[in-house]
């Protein structure tokens, strides 16, 4: 069973990973976006880590809801609302349980991903974070490691796609050949989940 401490480790591992990869995320964002994806998420997840140090919610749902709120209030552009919605809706779906199973997390995360799809109007194949998140949630039923691999594969698979949503979609065919930064950062989030499970 996964408790609040596990979810805090997940968010802290995500913050560390985003911090390490911020330059790469911004480099990916540079040709097809605003060249700020890495720095925006870095600021957001630093705020999440700081908030969790100050206030430690006692439930898995509480941890994710707090993290989502922080991201919405500190991250500019589309990333804040999208990531914030993902974590808040996942947290709300987990409810007030003190511990949740991996299956319950997978179900709650699917609710969060569905909310992101509704908010952004994106579907798999549109070259967005959804391309990493949907396969990850599908694979989460098998294991955390399978989810990490599926998210990474999904992110890499955005490279030959033409963007149909978000800022990159304005470029049309010129968006082809670039790995999507949102899918890449989503893969980091899922990798951090697997890392927290290994601890």
- Report the SS3 class of residue 194: helix
d(CA 109, CA 87): 8
pTM over 0.75: yes
d(CA 182, CA 163): 12
Q: What one-character-per-residue DSSP string does 149-161 give?
A: HHHHHHHHTTTTS
Per 3-state DSSP, the chain is made up of helix, strand and coil in percentages (nearest 5) of 75, 0, 25
d(CA 31, CA 88): 30
d(CA 39, CA 199): 27
Integer angstrom CA distances of residue 173 from 36, 40, 65: 22, 26, 37
| pLDDT score at 167 | 86
**Tokens standing for residue 56:** 């430690």
| pLDDT score at 166 | 87
> Average pLDDT of each block of 10 consecutive residues along the chain (199 residues)?
97 98 96 93 97 95 98 91 98 98 97 97 97 98 96 98 92 94 98 93
| pLDDT score at 76 | 78
Beta strands in the chain, from DSSP E residues, in sequence order: 2-3, 99-100
| pLDDT score at 27 | 96
Which residues 6+ apart lie within 8 Å of 189 measured at CB?
A: 14, 83, 151
């Amino acid at each position: 069973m996964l408790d609040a401490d596990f979810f805090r480790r997940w968010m802290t591992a995500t913050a560390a990973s985003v911090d390490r990869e911020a330059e790469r995320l911004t480099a990916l964002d540079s040709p097809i976006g605003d060249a700020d994806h890495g720095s925006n998420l870095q600021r957001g997840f630093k705020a999440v880590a700081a908030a969790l140090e100050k206030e430690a919610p006692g439930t898995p749902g509480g941890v994710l809801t707090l993290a989502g709120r922080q991201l919405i209030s500190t991250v500019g552009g589309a990333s804040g609302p999208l990531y914030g919605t993902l974590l808040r809706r996942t947290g709300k779906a987990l409810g007030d349980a003190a511990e949740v199973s991996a299956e319950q997390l997978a179900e709650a995360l699917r609710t969060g991903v569905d909310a992101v799809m509704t908010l952004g109007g994106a579907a798999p194949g549109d070259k967005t974070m959804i391309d990493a998140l949907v396969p990850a949630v599908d694979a989460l039923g098998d294991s955390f490691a399978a989810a990490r691999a599926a998210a990474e594969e999904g992110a890499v698979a955005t490279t030959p796609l033409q963007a149909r949503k978000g800022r990159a979609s304005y470029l049309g065919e010129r968006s082809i050949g670039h790995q999507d930064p949102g899918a890449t950062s989503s893969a980091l989030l899922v990798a951090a989940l697997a890392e927290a499970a290994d601890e």
